[in-house]
Amino acid sequence: MHNHARQQIRRHSGHWQERLAAARRVGIVGVPPLEMIRFLNDRNMALLDLDAMLVKADLETASQLIPRVYCAILRTVVVNALHLDLDAIVVDVGPGKCDAAFHVAAILEESLEIPVIRAENRDNDNFGTPIARGRMPLLEKLLRITEGVKRVSPDPEPPLACEPTAGFWGVPPRDFSILELFPDTTHVYGWSRCMENKTPAAHELEAHVNTTVPTVFFAQSFCAKTALARYLAARHPRALYLDVDVHTTGSAKAKIEAFLELSGVAR
């Protein structure tokens, strides 16, 4: 831990630049505004995506701060925040994330001895979505998209574009193993596409679907976006609505496998 740096940071309660100026390792939650990412990149700060599984600690350790029955991604955020050696955390609490993140940010701010900066990302410059629409294993696509949050530029080597044979709509799941079941020609929709486009609050883009391809509408249990997932799935002619919590169960995987095969989607 960088005690000196931490003390310096805590002394600042002013503008976010001042509060982050001495940080070296910064956790990010959701998609912070590009202005912040640029600031952190320019100072060569290490960015850690707290939405991803970064530590092996039991998810139950989050229960000391937030309910056990809660969004598994935000529980993961809390576990990461408790176990990683961080100098600061930046949380998007605007329309590009969710109310739950707002409350988690407040709880972390009270509980940790590091600055927790609440930002509202309303960026609306479109960076494009070539990964979402390219040919590549779906798991790798989501990894690239989530990694892209740490950069201010588009992916330097996006995959070649392809016609979609299937769709995956939703947020990046906590358990990426679900993504292994899809063909490489699966297009990504929903908030994951918004992430790549660097417009997490673009609700119109989030609600965009392709009605010509069988689409799995993925819902992370207890996430507010489950309502949108179910709503869109009900109106899509070839949809599977799937609600998954911490881990993907065997029956959830079997549903995807059956849905794709019975819809005539070749792997």
Q: Which residues bind other proteins (CB under 8 A)?
A: 214, 238, 240, 249-251, 254-255, 257-259, 261-263
- Please count the other Cβ atoms lying within 10 Å of the Cβ belonging to residue 44: 7
Query: Among residues 63 and 263, whose Cβ is nearest to other proteins?
Result: 263
Query: Among residues 8 and 221, whose Cβ is nearest to other proteins?
Result: 221
Query: Among residues 146 and 165, whose Cβ is nearest to other proteins?
Result: 165
Q: How far is the CB of 182 from other proteins (least distance, A)?
A: 15
Distance CA 24, CA 245 (A): 33
Q: What element of type H or E holds 219?
A: strand 215-220
Q: How far is the CB of 53 from other proteins (least distance, A)?
A: 23
Phi, psi of 173 (to 5 degrees): -70, 155
Q: How far is the CB of 227 from other proteins (least distance, A)?
A: 18
Close Cβ partners of 9 (under 8 Å, ≥ 6 residues apart): 19, 20, 21, 22, 23, 87, 88, 114, 115
- The DSSP annotation for 159-171 comes to PPB---SEEEESS
Q: How far is the CB of 20 from other proteins (least distance, A)?
A: 44
CA dihedral 53, 57, 63, 65 (to 10 degrees): -80
Query: Among residues 39 and 168, whose Cβ is nearest to other proteins?
Result: 168
Q: How far is the CB of 233 from other proteins (least distance, A)?
A: 9
- Nearest alpha carbon to residue 95 among 15, 23, 202: 202
Query: Among residues 72 and 101, whose Cβ is nearest to other proteins?
Result: 72
Distance CA 206, CA 190 (A): 4
